[in-house]
Amino acid sequence: MDIKSVKTLAEKYTIEELNKFADEFEETGVAPVKTQEDAGDQMSDYLQAVELRLYLDKGLPMNEAVREFSKRIRGVLA
């Protein structure tokens, strides 16, 4: 995960746009907004940006949204 790329995507695009990017990338293999060389990492950036955007849309500032998102990820990995 490249948190800088995920944050940039979440700041610039809506959930709908990010999901569209993921769908298009899955269908064509071409990244509409390229953040990574590796296809798996690219898709992860789109999907993680959606999750981060959900926190932003709830009104959380970016730093707090990243903190909450990170806590959730750590909980899944633990």
How many separate domains does the chain show?
1
**pLDDT of 72 higher than 90:** no
Strands (E), the chain: none
pLDDT digits (tens, 9 = 90+) for 38-66: 999 999 999 999 999 999 999 999 999 99
Q: Residues 9, 18, 55, 41: what is their CA dihedral angle, to the nearest 10 degrees?
A: -60
**Does the reported pTM lie above 0.95?**
no
> Would you give the end-to-end CA distance of the chain in angstroms?
17
77 band by pLDDT with thresholds 50, 70 and 90: confident
For 14, the domain range is: 3-77
